[in-house]
Amino acid sequence: MTVHTGAPEFSIITAASGLRAGAVSVPDLVEQSLAQADAIADLAAFTEIYADHAKALARAHQALIANGCDLGPLHGIPVAVKANVAVAGKRMTAGSKLLADRIADTDADATQALKRQGAIIIGATNMHEFAWGGTTANPHFGQCRNPWDRNRIPAGSSGGSGAAVAARAVFAALGTDTGGSIRLPASMNGLTGLRPGVGRLSTGGIFPLAWSMDTVGPIAPSAADCAIVHAALCGESVPAGFAAAGRPASLSGKRIAVPTPYAFAALQTDVETTFRDALRQFEALGAVVDPVSLADLDIAVDAQVIVDAAEPSAIHADWVRTRPEDYGDDVRILLEAGLAFTAEEYIQAQRYRTLLRRQFERIFIDHDLVLTPTLPFTAPLIGQATVMLGGREESTLTGNMRFTCLASLAALPAASFPIGFDTAGLPVGGQLIGPHDSEMAILAAVHAFQGASDHHLRRPSAGQSLTSATTG
């Protein structure tokens, strides 16, 4: 595995600066992006590429920039959207056979927001079918592969978005997150991914998974890039602090809570070591890191599974009964299981969510953020169903949810970001959770961490193409 480090930095800020300085053109960036997407075809990161449309848009937006029209920091930047996010006039498959011929009449609200800023959407990214899974083993569009090791998964369900950004085919990609589907690919692909709080952004025009937990957000190389995309999705300005370079920002006065012993239990050795290093880095930046207790976390995954199966099963009930053969086996089995949950079980899961939210509210009285690993393990091999954790076998499905389900169940914003690598060179992610409407505060803390580390600058050998285009 070849790993490249350091400058030149691959970022939206660098590319946007190059465009405005005339060092690179929008057609240059788009051609490079399309070429890289073609070069990584074996990763199955994309379900569709909008090559002709993207090239036409590139010419039009280059003319706007040349005439002094600046739509914002995403103007002229190649991006991608997950295949369950509608793009007008394009197929919106949600990674399924059932929707293979559906053409979107209108843009999703998130797509519209990107277009208003002048972003160039070059294609739709692969995903776990209907967003119900964490491997992006898609029976209709192919197994998406991890750019750090093609024999491993990129996580899911937004695995194609993670792989496309990690391989440097696009500067950012939209994902959706219900139980962790932005944060898991961000972790396994060495990226930063933001799950906004439920209700923070419109999910209009996005095929739903579980409506009480669904969100849409960015996967990108850094917190600064995520802040730019999130601001565009919100229709807000990017806070000035994300453009700062050089000396890392201080986190003095910030208090970070770590659920203990939950955050340290049954982790792969390299994940635990890297996580403890991250705790020390936050302390070095001036933050106070405190152990805190959260009750009944041992049933959090069970509650997540119930909600994450019952709500999709209600959406898919007719298709599951009339067209079961059109689903992949794993998704069909999960949806059928969801139909078997009782109203009492669903209500008890929702009651647990309320109790968990109240616990977080108490923590946020005197703490700013909560920190955990994103995952207890690094990227498993394709087809690997279990992993050894704490001396026993654990399902990768439930292991995927262990930490990400906390923010999902509580409907809170959270971000995953690179905190290091295991001995095999695979990325390890950390997760910061914040109170409602704290998305930018979460990203600011990650930005400070990234100002004092270089984990987010490392990239797999699959991701080299766009660097020259951003630097002229």
Rg (CA), the chain: 21
Q: What number of residues does the chain have?
A: 472
Active site residue 97: no
CB atoms within 10 A of CB 452: 14
- Beta carbons of 107 and 149 less than 8 angstroms apart: no
* Phi and psi based region of residue 13 (left: phi greater than 0; alpha: psi -120 to 50; beta: remaining): alpha
Q: Could you tell me the two tokens for 398?
A: 């439930």
Give me the residue label for tokens 């999705």. 233
At residue 337, φ and ψ (nearest 5 deg) are -65, -35
Of residues 158, 181, 313, 438, which has the active-site annotation?
Answer: 181
CB neighbours of residue 322 within 10 Å: 9
At which residue do the structure tokens 């053409």 appear?
103
Please tell me which residue in 11, 33, 96, 157 is annotated as part of the active site: 157
17 in active site: no
Kindly give, in sequence order, each residue whose CB lies less than 8 Å from that of residue 201, ignoring residues fewer than 6 positions away: 109, 110, 215, 216, 217, 233, 234
Has 222 been annotated as catalytic? Answer: no
Given 25, 82, 158, 438, the catalytic residue: 82
Burial tier of 287 (Cβ tally within 10 Å: 0-12, 13-18, 19+): buried
The catalytic residues are: 82, 157, 181
